[in-house]
Amino acid sequence: MSAGSRPLNRLAHESSPYLQQHADNPVDWYPWGEEALERARREDKPILVSIGYAACHWCHVMAHESFADPEIAAIQNEHFINIKVDREERPDLDAIYMAAAQALTGRGGWPLNVFCLPDGTPFYAGTYFPPDAKAARYRMPSWRQVLLSIAEAYRSRRAEVTASAHELLDHIRLLARPLPETAPLDEALLTTAAAQIGREFDHQYGGFGDAPKFPQPLILEFLLRAHLRGDVQALPMLHQTLEQMARGGMYDQVGGGFHRYSVDDRWLVPHFEKMLYDNALLAEIYHLAALVTGDPFLARIADETFAYLLRDLRHPDGAFFSSEDADSLPIAGAAHAEEGAFYVWTPDELRIALGDDATLVGAYYGVTRQGNFEGRSILHVPRPAAAVAAMLGVSVKRLEETVARARPLLRAFRERRPRPFRDEKIITAWNALAIRALAVASARVPEYLGFARQCVDFLLTNLRRADGRLLRSWKDGRPGPTAFLEDYALLCDALIDLHAASGETQYLAIAVELADALLDLFWDDQAGMFFDTGRDQPALVTRPRDLSDNATPSGSSAAAYALLRLYAITGRELYMTRARQVLEQATPMLKRFPLGFGRMLCAADIAIGPTRELAIIGPSDHPQTQALVAVARAAYRPRLVIARAMPNDPMTLLSPLLSGRTMIDGHPTAYLCEQFACQLPVTTPEALQAQLG
């Protein structure tokens, strides 16, 4: 039984926190599986598939308004087989049904509510629907009306509904087919893409497009590469965007880390959920931008974001949890959670927390009596410190010291509030993003390397079966479904960076195993592309694939990126061939809509080249080895791959770059190559620096 008198439904037995959030609904929910599908076929009922995730604000709203309502639940239970899906556990289902929603309505989002034939073929879809009382305000049908209309259509116009469903499924399948056109994979492609991205740039506030505004770290990564190729607009766009985001309310000024996105165009009011993937990708891009620009502010934001991940999203054994909710209780014991309650402030709260420093700190962070969010203030930095100091008649040094002293005090004060719910599911792909970010940034902060290793050890221990098959997710000892393309590709990619940072050849060996497995499980010879689901996973109404990058890299772009880097180390032609096949399919879209293909553009940058390979032979803990590695990693060199080993390590057989290499006169030695043609070996960091340029 639940804490009240209502019995729990089937979702109480699921490991997903999102599904468990619906365990006390009066709706007769099923998790996705054969039991629900078989009942739909047996009773000839349509299926309602409702998809969301634990940190989704509007998912909570609809759950409270509709799914917890006994009268509405009775309608759902009478007319439908109801299935709840955690989109983070099942991106395959989310991809299919989101494509249906976008085809039918022109938009998508969560909660995603899709009505299907008993075999799972979709015929109607939408996102949030209000209950009866709010329907007129939102100028849309109520959820009750939708349910009754769909039930009546299924009962009285079955042939029409079935024909519509099959037509929609044909459309979804068409989206997954190869494009009939191709475009050259050359430097002009990158120039065209960068120019088109520039036309979408917001010159006032940074970022791209209008509100709502998303951080788009994959596009920012491509801009860094465009800068290295001589694009004079790329670095200013990148720098302005990173600075404006970090000074806005989308950045947690007290605790570090970024919220999901900004509802306005100036990064002030966020949707307050915090996701692992956003913060891993943004921590890495802030670190890389700091390397390129030398800006200590960007390095500080990177480190504060890593600090947030390590403090608030880390499992005790080293992996990272998925997210923190947007909503929380305003005070302990309150009846309902409120969006952003954990993060907003009043002048009185600042005074209690900081005493006399509250005046300076409140002015710096834009805290006012009227507030900027439902009567309270989201902390942001609306003016430079010099302007605030002049307004208050104090020195800039005093203001900055006061603000720095205040931040830990504000965080301690805030910790007394009820915390947002944390989804403690461990997702392989998202943890891989964190591993890569930590490994890359360990070039500047060596302590990050140990955290990256611990995370990988956790994944390889808990999210890899005895037969080697990766799992998508894990929670409290309970494994989730088998892994998808993005899980394999992103972990493979992360292991390449972890090998470069640590010198452990086992990481390189596992990266090769994952690359071979993803080619076996996900490659489609007929189309010359990857599927997102493995050939060993249960069949759905269609087998999804998506080339476009969204908040995270697509499985296809991550695979192309990792395979190209792994080819540069191993020389295995199949890796390059498959990666280029994917890129050739994608190039027309890269030219037309580059904002949707950030990581794919980065893969194209590698494929176009030139790439260089660096082999470093020597003990990892030898000071001279470390000095050579430090030189190689001190600057942003995105088309340089690094392989490391001891002489005669059996793992060197994995790579012609490493095989047969020796230390010169017993000294750790570096071999810099291009297409496996190498310059003279060097043993000093100065000589390697000269070769690298």
Is 1 a residue whose pLDDT tops 50?
no
431/435 Cα distance (integer angstroms): 6
- Provide, rounded to the nearest whole percent, the portion of the chain with pLDDT above 90: 92
Is 66 a residue whose pLDDT tops 50?
yes
**Residue 318 Rama label (left phi>0; alpha psi -120 to 50; beta):** left
Average pLDDT, whole number, for the chain? 95
pLDDT in tens, 253-298: 999 999 999 999 999 999 999 999 999 999 999 999 999 999 999 9
Looking at residue 255, its pLDDT comes to 97
pLDDT in tens, 636-665: 999 999 999 998 888 888 888 998 899 999
138/130 Cα distance (integer angstroms): 8
54/84 Cα distance (integer angstroms): 12
- Provide, rounded to the nearest whole percent, the portion of the chain with pLDDT above 70: 98
Looking at residue 135, its pLDDT comes to 65
Tell me 333's DSSP state. Answer: T
* Nearest to 492, CA basis, from 543, 577, 424, 553: 553
Is 689 a residue whose pLDDT tops 90?
yes
Q: Which two tokens stand for residue 4?
A: 């009240």
* Nearest to 567, CA basis, from 648, 619, 643, 650: 643
In single-letter form, the type of residue at position 118 comes to: P
pLDDT in tens, 289-331: 999 999 999 999 999 999 999 999 999 999 999 999 999 999 9
Weakest mean pLDDT among 82-91, 113-122, 327-336, 679-688: 327-336
Is 139 a residue whose pLDDT tops 90?
no
Looking at residue 2, its pLDDT comes to 42
CB atoms within 10 A of CB 29: 25
- Cα–Cα–Cα angle for 410, 412, 415, nearest 5°? 110
Residue of 577 and 336 predicted with greater confidence = 577
Q: In sequence order, what are the beta bridge partners of 667?
A: 664
Looking at residue 7, its pLDDT comes to 81
Is it true that the peptide bond before 685 is cis, omega within 30 degrees of 0? no
* Nearest to 337, CA basis, from 324, 349, 355: 324
Looking at residue 281, its pLDDT comes to 98
Task: Return the residue matching tokens 């209008």.
Answer: 210
Looking at residue 176, its pLDDT comes to 83
Tell me 660's DSSP state. Answer: T
Looking at residue 216, its pLDDT comes to 97
Instruction: Please say whether the beta carbons of 371 and 344 come within 8 A.
Output: yes
Is 624 a residue whose pLDDT tops 60?
yes
CA distances from 459 to 14, 342, 469, 470, 555 (A): 21, 31, 12, 9, 18
Instruction: Please say whether the beta carbons of 272 and 262 come within 8 A.
Output: no
Sign of CA dihedral 491, 497, 502, 506: positive
pLDDT in tens, 184-227: 899 999 999 999 999 999 999 999 999 999 999 999 999 999 99
Is 152 a residue whose pLDDT tops 70?
yes
